Structures are given as C-alpha cells and as structure tokens.
C-alpha cells in the first residue's frame, strides 16, 4: 500500500465525496462545520480516519471500476470497525464523542453508497440511534450545534432507506422501525431553526430536505406492499388524510420557477433557482408516489404479493412525474440530489409506456455516473428485473 495513498484518498474525500452526502440546498454552514470537524478529529480518532479512507476508496472504485481501490476500501473499513470497538471499551463516554458518532455515520454510508458492507448497515444505524437517543432525545432535548442536526437527520434517512429497502425484497430483517424514536426525532427537528430566513425548512435541513413526516408516510405505505399479507385497514385509514393533504399541495407544485427556465440569469441566481426547483420536485415525487400507493391499496387487488403495479400513462400522477423527469434531463443538481434516488426508482414501477420507462432508466443511469453510488445501481438493477418480468423476458 503506497504511503501517498491516504493523502490521495483524503483529498478525494474532500473534493469529490463529501459534497454528495449533504444537500446543496441547505445552509453552507453545515458543510463547512462538519468537514472542519472531520479534519480536526481524524488525527485523534483512528476509526474516523479509516472510515474516511474507506468511503473515499469505495467511491473511487465505483467511479473508475478500480479493483485495487475496492480492496483498499474494505481493508480500511475493517480497520475502522476495529478501532471503533477499541474506542467503545475506553474510559471516555462515547455518547458525548463527536468523533465516534461521525465514524458510525460514515460506516453506514459506506454500506449504503459502496460495495461489500451493505449487510452491516443495521448494526451501525442501531448504534447511531442509541447515541442520538441518549444524547438528544432523552438528554438535552435540543439541537444546539450544526453537526447535531446532521446526525439526527442522517439517522432518520438511513432508517427510511432500511425500512423501505428494495421493492422486490422484504425490508432488512435485522432492523425494526421504531415509531417512538422517529416521533421524538421529528419533534426535536421541528423545534430546531439554526438558520432563520425566508426558507428555513430548506436551509435548516442538510440531509432530509423534506418534512420527516413525508418520509414516514412513504414508509408506512411501503410497508403494506410485498409483505404477503392484505393491507392493514388501520394503517390505510391512518395515512389517508395525509395523502389527501399532499394531493392538494401537488396542485400548487406543477410549473417550474420562472428563474429556472431563464438561461440568462446571473450564475448565482441560476444556481439557487436550480437548487430550489430540485428540492421542490423531489418533494413532488414523494407525494405523487404516496398518492399512487394509496390508490392501489384502495383497489381490490392484492398488493401484498409484490411491488407496485403499473399504472396508465394517463394517470395524473404519472403524467406529472414524467414532466418532472423531463424537466431535469440536463440538470446536474438533480442527478446529484440523493433524496431523489428512491422516488425516481419507485416511480419506475408505475410506468408502462416504453418512453416513460426510458426516462426513468436514463435518470438512474445519470445518477450512477454522477454520484458513483452503489445504492442507485441496486435500485436500477431491481427495477430492470421487474420490467423484464413484465415484458416476459428471461432473466
């Protein structure tokens, strides 16, 4: 292993990887504060040091198909987990250690975005939940610092991803959705406004970018599919009013912002308009999916047997989703917006027209190319398998 490799990987982490794990629509302070914290703590926390190198090497492998990089990534990942175990047996209180929490976050991101450690995600998320619960939910009861908000939102997002999983598979058996934890975390986030302003919800959300309730709604609807059972009437009735509220909101979220389509805008204004449009359209896709899922649950079919069924291209939700995907065919910010990965993947199951499926396929491929994310590759492969089955192709 080259002596220069850690320096090369650290530089890649700062310049290429780090921007992919926080939302650009949030306040720049989140980015600068967490990155500074990582740099300051790496020298004293071996687990954090090795987790940074592991994530960076994994990302290089996915971008360049570099076999040595993947080997280095797994070696560094192993070193990080060993260092973490040693730290947990030390005299210091791990719950107050930002370096430890940062390490755990990067380890589950390695499993989510990289290759080879996906099955470890529940272990790391459960560890992060214990720290967040003790430190914030049952401890101070408030969020005072920028990284605190990042950590809470990041844990919720990983809970959502694990609870939804792939549409053709059951959710992670090693993880159980904790409704009480989610409710407490949602409450503490609602009371936290670190950056007051005109668009506080967007500015103050470095990972979720959307109301946590919308992620929870998506999970509750997802939980009624693929479980081999008929839908739970209590759950369906519980979410109905929420879905109807979002359907009303969707009527106001249709056309692009004027500044988004003005090509002669000043660079900064154009960037801000693009980020705002990306954020709004991602929210739209989640709400459209919730509407479609509830509609299928209300019908007389049995959604418990598999992923969502295809819908008519004329369905208003499908038509609106198609407009969104067409709008962002050349939007770089859209392809790097990680909260859009799941809804773009999921909306594909409702598509029947070949041109609409091609829109989704192209969107997911551009995300793979732009982000170097194994998560997107898993989503795309899962969706292609279902499309092939529906066409009657051999797998």
Residues 6+ apart with CB under 8 A from 135: 95, 96, 148
pLDDT class of 45 with cuts at 50, 70, 90: very high
Identify the band that residue 211 occupies on the pLDDT scale cut at 50, 70 and 90.
very high
Q: Would you say 369 and 65 are in contact if contact means Cβ atoms under 8 Å apart?
A: no
Residue 394 pLDDT level (bands cut at 50, 70, 90): low
pLDDT of residue 229: 67
pLDDT band of residue 227 (cuts 50, 70, 90) is low
Domain-wise residue ranges, the chain? 1-200, 210-394
User: What is the tens place of the pLDDT at every residue in 48-96?
Assistant: 999 999 999 999 999 998 889 999 999 999 999 999 998 887 656 666 7
Task: Look up residue 310 and give its two tokens.
Answer: 């295809």
Residues 208 and 299: their CA atoms lie apart, in Å, by: 31
Give SS3 for 159: helix
Q: What are the structure tokens assigned to 249, written together? A: 């909101």
> Model-level pTM?
0.93
**CB-count burial class (<10 Å; 0-12, 13-18, 19+) for 280:** middle
For residue 31, the SS3 value is helix
């Amino acid at each position: 292993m080259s002596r220069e490799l850690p320096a090369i990987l650290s530089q890649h982490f700062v310049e290429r990887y780090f921007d992919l794990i926080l939302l650009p629509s949030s306040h720049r302070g989140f980015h600068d504060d967490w990155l500074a914290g990582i740099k300051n703590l790496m020298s004293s926390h071996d687990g954090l040091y090795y987790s940074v190198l592991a994530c960076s090497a994994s990302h290089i492998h996915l971008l360049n198909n570099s076999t040595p990089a993947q080997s280095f990534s797994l070696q560094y990942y192993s070193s990080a987990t060993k260092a973490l175990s040693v730290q947990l047996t030390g005299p210091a209180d791990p719950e107050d250690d930002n370096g430890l929490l940062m390490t755990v976050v990067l380890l589950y991101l390695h499993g989510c975005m990289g290759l080879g450690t996906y099955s470890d995600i529940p272990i790391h998320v459960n560890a992060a939940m214990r720290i967040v619960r003790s430190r914030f939910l049952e401890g101070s009861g408030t969020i005072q610092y920028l990284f605190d908000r990042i950590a809470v939102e990041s844990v919720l997002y990983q809970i959502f991803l694990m609870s939804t999983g792939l549409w053709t598979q059951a959710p992670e058996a090693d993880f159980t959705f904790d409704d009480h934890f989610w409710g407490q975390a949602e409450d503490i986030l609602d009371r936290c406004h670190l950056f007051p302003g005109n668009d506080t919800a967007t500015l103050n959300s470095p990972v979720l970018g959307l109301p946590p309730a919308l992620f929870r709604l998506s999970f509750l609807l997802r939980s009624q599919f693929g479980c081999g059972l008929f839908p739970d009437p209590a759950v369906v009735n519980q979410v109905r009013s929420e879905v109807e509220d979002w359907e009303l909101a969707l009527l106001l979220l249709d056309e692009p912002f004027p500044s988004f389509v003005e090509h002669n805008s000043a660079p900064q204004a154009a960037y801000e308009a693009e980020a705002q449009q990306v954020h709004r359209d991602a929210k739209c896709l989640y709400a459209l999916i919730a509407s479609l899922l509830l509609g299928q649950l209300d019908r007389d079919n049995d959604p418990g047997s598999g992923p969502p069924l295809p819908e008519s291209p004329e369905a208003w939700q499908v038509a609106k989703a198609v407009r969104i995907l067409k709008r962002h065919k050349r939007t770089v910010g859209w392809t790097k917006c990680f909260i859009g990965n799941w809804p773009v993947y999921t909306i594909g199951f409702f598509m029947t027209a070949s041109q609409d499926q091609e829109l989704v396929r192209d969107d997911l491929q551009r995300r793979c190319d732009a982000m170097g994310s194994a998560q997107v590759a898993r989503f795309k492969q899962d969706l292609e398998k279902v499309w092939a089955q529906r066409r009657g192709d051999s797998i």
